[in-house]
């Protein structure tokens, strides 16, 4: 390995550790949001949005920094191939941790979205019951009421 690649490797290691911490913060924010969704605490749930956006911006900035560190190396290899080539156990562990955290963040985000959608469907149905459509009902060509 050249001296330039060694410097690049140490910068990459530092960046990936920062990314890991940022992803942990995002996951914590999403879990907090999940707690408020389950409790139906809309105002606290709304306060989580700003925190989540800050974490997302931080992660995006770190990703841009990582890409600038590896601009030439990533043209020829994938990130996992580059990590294998560097052959640094600490870097490999951090890379695996980041992948695991990304999967956990996706799962938590999807869960939160699903719960919010379910809540909205329930609310819309309740509104339809409380304030029904007052137009005259007509049948379409299939015998269904419009």
In a domain, 141, yes or no: no
Q: Is residue 42 part of a domain?
A: yes
User: CB-based burial of residue 146 (10 Å sphere; 0-12 exposed, 13-18 middle, 19+ buried)?
Assistant: exposed
Q: What is the pLDDT of residue 86?
A: 80
What is residue 85's predicted lDDT score, i.e. its pLDDT? Answer: 81
Domain span at residue 56 reads 3-130
Q: Supply the pLDDT for residue 116.
A: 92
Q: Per the domain annotation, does 118 fall within a domain?
A: yes
Work out the burial of residue 98: count CB atoms within 10 Å of its CB; fewer than 13 is exposed, 13-18 middle, 19 or more buried: middle
What pLDDT score was predicted for residue 87? 81
- Report the 10 Å Cβ neighbour count for 36: 17
User: What b/e readout covers 64-94, taking b as 16+ CB neighbours within 10 angstroms?
Assistant: ebbeebbeebeeeeebeebbeebebeebeeb
Confidence (pLDDT) at 4 = 52
Q: Write the CATH number for 45.
A: 1.20.58
Number of domains in the chain: 1
Residue 142 has what DSSP assignment? T
Residue 52 is assigned to a structural domain of this protein: yes
Per-residue pLDDT of the chain in tens (146 residues, 90 and over written 9):
444 556 677 888 899 999 999 999 999 999 999 999 999 888 888 889 999 999 999 999 999 998 888 887 777 778 888 888 888 888 899 999 999 999 999 999 999 999 999 999 988 888 888 887 777 777 787 877 66
pTM listed for this prediction: 0.80
In a domain, 144, yes or no: no
């Amino acid at each position: 390995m050249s001296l330039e690649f060694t410097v690049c490797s140490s910068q990459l290691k530092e960046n990936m550790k920062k990314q890991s911490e940022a992803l942990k913060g995002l996951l914590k924010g999403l879990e907090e949001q999940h707690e408020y969704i389950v409790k139906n605490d809309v105002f606290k749930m709304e306060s989580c949005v700003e925190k989540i956006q800050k974490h997302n911006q931080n992660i995006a900035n770190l990703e841009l920094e990582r890409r600038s560190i590896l601009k030439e190396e990533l043209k020829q290899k994938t990130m996992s191939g580059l990590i294998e080539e560097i052959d640094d156990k600490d870097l490999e562990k951090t890379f695996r941790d980041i992948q695991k955290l990304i999967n956990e963040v996706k799962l938590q985000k999807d869960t939160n979205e699903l719960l919010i959608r379910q809540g909205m469907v329930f609310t819309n149905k309740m509104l339809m019951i409380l304030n029904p459509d007052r137009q005259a009902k007509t049948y379409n060509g299939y015998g269904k009421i419009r």
